[in-house]
Amino acid sequence: MRIEGKEYRTIWFEKNIVKIIDQTKLPHKFIIKDLKTIEDAINAIKVMEVRGAPLIGATAAYGLVLSIIQNNDQSFLKRSAENLINSRPTAINLKWAVDRMMNKMSGVNSDKILDIAINEAKEICEEDIKFCENIGLNGLKIIEKIYNKKKNTVNILTHCNAGWLATINWGTATSPIYHAHKKGIPVHVWADETRPRNQGANLTSYELNEEGVNNTIIADNTGGILMQRGEVDMCIVGTDRTLANGDVCNKVGTYLKALAANDNNIPFYVALPSSTIDWNIKDHKDIPIEERNSEELSHMEGLDEKGDVKKIQIYPRKSKAMNLAFDVTPAKYVTGLITEKGVCEASEKGLKELFK
């Protein structure tokens, strides 16, 4: 997708270096960063220079490529894989990508392993782009249906950033929106700010602006009253891990939006590529929920009056703060899952029909 009119992907590989857009600097600065070592890749995931389930997976895949370039040794590679998997716990795509890479490389001679790893990491990225594009085409039909009935701008609420910046291109939740916009269907997005890291404001609104999609940032607690006022036609969010029973783990606050949508009879859709499905965990209580540093709550970054980026403390110095990063929306509140293979019911039956 475009930034200042130029097409980008979120990650690419050039002359043995992995290039990323440093998302900790957005929206105030657009910086392309080089990842040269496995440690660089792990750090980029941990501090969220890259984030979003599919992009974390792709970065992990390229992290293993960097690991081989650094030290083409099996035990080093195994340690790199373990460290990558432990770098962020909730998004399943991380483990999915590492397992896929390690399976592909198992039993391969050391002189061939680098080429195999590079090809597989590229394949993971290409596949994600294709899947996200298909999610867009499948979700477009839902937006079109609402538009054909309403004959007016379709208002879509989204939470966090499940946009192209969270994937390689297109995004998951944003892909149907971009497809609708390209088709000339008038859409307007309510972007939840998404405290504490403000991915909705800093990333979703930013990328929608760059693509010319009409959007408004709202405080996280505003969605409910907008739904009561009839100003939300549908919600589309992403997910970091979807269980086989259709329960959806996503950025904290998603659950509350789903409850409000349910109370107001507003369709609540979740968009995901199949790499985000966890077929093993049966009970959502077993999903590892990331708890991040409370400083993400107590401090904020922004531009001062001179236009310089400044970090300030906003909480009382003596106050404690707690920062759970994800929550789980039970399947019963999810109208449908928009996947690369089609839209299905959020249930084991629905998912199994699409992914036999």
By beta-carbon proximity to ligand MRU, the closer residue of 60 and 117 is 60
171: left (phi over 0), alpha (psi -120 to 50) or beta: left
Q: Which tokens belong to 10?
A: 């979120």
User: Which residue's beta carbon is nearest to the bound ligand MRU?
Assistant: 238
Interface with ligand MRU, residue 199, by CB under 6 A: yes
Give the largest Cα separation in the chain, rounded.
63
Q: Which tokens belong to 303?
A: 């531009």
Q: Establish whether 240 is a catalytic residue.
A: yes
Convert residues 11-50 into a mask of x (bound to ligand MRU by CB under 6 A) and - (unbound): ----------------------------------------
Q: How far is the CB of 55 from ligand MRU (least distance, A)?
A: 7
C-alpha pair distances (Å), 87 with each of 239, 288, 327: 18, 12, 19
Looking at 239, 298, 329, 335, which residue binds ligand MRU (CB under 6 A)?
239
Looking at 136, 238, 246, 253, which residue binds ligand MRU (CB under 6 A)?
238
Q: How far is the CB of 199 from ligand MRU (least distance, A)?
A: 5
Own/partner contacts of 26-34, CB < 8 Å, gap of 24 or more, are: 26/165, 26/202, 26/203, 26/206, 27/201, 27/202, 27/203, 27/205, 27/206, 28/302, 28/303, 28/309, 29/309, 30/3, 30/4
Which of 240, 247, 278, 327 is an active site residue?
240
Q: How far is the CB of 109 from ligand MRU (least distance, A)?
A: 36
Within residues 93-132, the interface with ligand MRU by CB under 6 A covers: none
In the three-class reduction of DSSP (H, G, I as helix; E, B as strand; rest coil), residue 213 is classed as coil
Q: Which tokens belong to 145?
A: 């249906």
Rounded Cα distance between 314 and 309, Å, is: 16
- Residue 138 near residue 342 (C-beta atoms within 8 A): yes
By beta-carbon proximity to ligand MRU, the closer residue of 57 and 350 is 57
Contacts of 252 (CB under 8 A, 6+ apart): 324, 325, 326, 327
Residue with tokens 């496995």: 38
Q: How far is the CB of 250 from ligand MRU (least distance, A)?
A: 5
By beta-carbon proximity to ligand MRU, the closer residue of 160 and 346 is 160
Interface with ligand MRU, residue 270, by CB under 6 A: no
Q: Which tokens belong to 328?
A: 């789980």
| Angle between the N-to-C axes of helices 93-105 and 74-85, in degrees from 0 to 180, rounded to the nearest 10 | 170
Interface with ligand MRU, residue 169, by CB under 6 A: no
Within residues 139-168, the interface with ligand MRU by CB under 6 A covers: 160, 162, 166-167
Q: How far is the CB of 181 from ligand MRU (least distance, A)?
A: 18
Interface with ligand MRU, residue 172, by CB under 6 A: yes
Q: How far is the CB of 239 from ligand MRU (least distance, A)?
A: 6
Residue with tokens 């029909």: 353
Interface with ligand MRU, residue 51, by CB under 6 A: yes
Residue with tokens 């460290």: 83
Question: Which residues of this protein are in contact with ligand MRU, per CB under 6 A?
Answer: 51-54, 91, 160, 162, 166-167, 172, 199, 238-240, 250-251, 325
Residues annotated as catalytic are 240
